[in-house]
Amino acid sequence: MTTPTFTPRVFSGIQPSGGLTLGNYLGAIKRFVSMQDEAFETIYCMVDLHAITVWQDPADLRRNTRELAAGFIASGISPEKSILINQSQVPEHAQLAWIFNCVARMGWMKRMTQFKDKAGKNAEAASLGLFGYPALMAADILIYHATHVPVGEDQKQHLELTRDIAAKFNHDYDVDFFPLTEPVIEGAATRVMSLRDGSKKMSKSDPSDASRINMTDDADTIAKKIRKAKTDPDALPSEAEGLADRPEARNLVNIYAALNDQSVAEVLRDVGGQQFGAFKPLLAELAVSKLSPISSEMARLMADPSEIDQILKRGARQARDITAPILEKTYEIVGMVR
């Protein structure tokens, strides 16, 4: 069989399992927005089926899904340029995931660090869904034959597994049906760290709210969290190498660079030599100027969720034009009588 050429197509998703953080925004959403204007079809997803791999209160899940959609739109994802969906309205994701459950191997899944982190010491009590999570993620991507997936650094291992699943399917059935998707992990903030501990990822599930900036935080809260962010006593260096053993300092500079669309070298050229007492107010001002328009637009959109629901319904219809034929073809390859 000749190798098919795949339409350049971007897929990515975020879990509606809590509020959006600055990590999600800088590591993922900003790139989602810029890829809309490159030569790609773009599909962005609220992965509600992934969220319930750990307990979600139903009312919270519904609210978080709509708020996440509002966050996407307020950040610049245009429903005219991109297909915006929630996963459960496009049933082919879950249908392909079943096939992939039968392709992926137990040994592969057991190596996934996110499962180990999330299941913790009590893995026996984790849901089967949490263990199978990466097969559903592979299905999210491959049900569109997506070629590129923008994500933060923490999703790299899942994207490698996605390629392994595609390769094994293609090999077992002797086809060139699923593309080997490219991860897009780029920019100054592919791993935004906790404001309280430079060795931990900024995360919506961290018990300390001071560890993260939420997209819905007001200006005072943002400024206060940055002022209190852990740092070291030294001045900022003038070159990136000077940040090597200074995780907290590096994190704040990375955040500044990503928010301001600059490289770390450019930022340090301007602020090198400054103490944190001078740099933190600059960072706070920049963060507020970039984030407050987003949070006020989110609040406006959330005032009338019916508009969001309509956008998601339309997105699901557009998505299914792509996913339904790919699922049919998959079933045919596998040998299901249709």
Residues involved in catalysis: 118, 201, 204
Tell me if 14 contacts ligand TYM by CB under 6 A: yes
Tell me the two tokens of residue 152. 């933060």
Q: Give the H/E segment covering residue 148.
A: strand 148-150
Mark the segment that binds ligand TYM (CB under 6 A) among 134-142, 226-234, 238-246, 283-291: 134-142
Describe the chain by its helix, strand, coil percentages, rounded to 5.
Answer: 60, 10, 35
Stretch that binds ligand TYM, among 144-152, 272-280, 284-292, 298-306 (CB under 6 A): 144-152
Q: How far apart are CA 254 and CA 264, in angstroms?
A: 6
* Residues between 154 and 213 with contacts to ligand TYM, criterion CB under 6 A: 154-155, 158, 190-192, 201-202
| Closest separation in Å from C-beta 141 to ligand TYM | 5
CB of 16 to ligand TYM, least distance (A): 8
Output the smallest distance, CB 324 to ligand TYM, in A: 19
What CA–CA distance (Å, rounded) separates 74 from 117? 31
In terms of CB distance, is 157 or 238 closer to ligand TYM? Answer: 157
From the CB of 93, what's the least distance to ligand TYM, in Å? 9
Name the closest residue to ligand TYM (Cβ): 27
* Bridge partners, 182 (sequence order): 148
Give the Cα separation of 270 and 265 in Å (integer). 9
How far is residue 217's CA from residue 222's CA, in Å, rounded to a whole number?
Answer: 6
What is the Cα–Cα distance from 28 to 120, expressed in whole angstroms?
A: 25
Position among 9, 10, 24, 71 found at the interface with ligand TYM (CB under 6 A)? 24
146 vs 301, beta carbon nearer ligand TYM: 146
Q: Which long-range contacts (CB under 8 A, 24 or more apart) does 116-119 make?
A: 118/54
Q: Does position 23 bind ligand TYM by CB under 6 A?
A: yes
Q: Which of 94/324 has CB closer to ligand TYM? A: 94
Cβ closest to ligand TYM, residue 207 vs residue 335: 207
Instruction: Check if the beta carbon of residue 44 is closer than 8 Å to that of residue 81.
Output: no
Taking CB under 6 A as the rule, does residue 86 contact ligand TYM?
no
Rounded CA-CA distance 24/152 in Å is 8
- d(CA 114, CA 126) in angstroms, rounded, equals 12
Pattern 93-132, ligand TYM, x by CB under 6 A? ----------------------------------------
CA angle 12, 9, 65 (to 5 degrees): 25
- Is residue 149 at the binding interface for ligand TYM, with CB under 6 A as the rule? yes
Is residue 53 near ligand TYM by the rule CB under 6 A? no
- Kindly report the number of other CB atoms within 10 A of residue 325's CB atom: 11
CB of 198 to ligand TYM, least distance (A): 12
Answer left, alpha or beta for residue 145, where phi above 0 means left and psi between -120 and 50 means alpha: left
Contact 21, 154 (CB under 8 A): no
- Measured from the CB of residue 7, what is the shortest distance to ligand TYM in angstroms? 17
Q: Rule CB under 6 A: is residue 248 a binding residue for ligand TYM? A: no
Q: Which residue, 14 or 70, is less far from ligand TYM as judged by CB?
A: 14
Q: Does 12 bind ligand TYM (CB under 6 A)?
A: yes
CB of 335 to ligand TYM, least distance (A): 27
Distances (CA, A) of 249 to 15, 222, 280: 29, 17, 10
- Residue numbers at the binding site for ligand TYM (CB under 6 A): 11-15, 23-24, 27-28, 47, 50, 137, 140-141, 149, 151-152, 154-155, 158, 190-192, 201-202
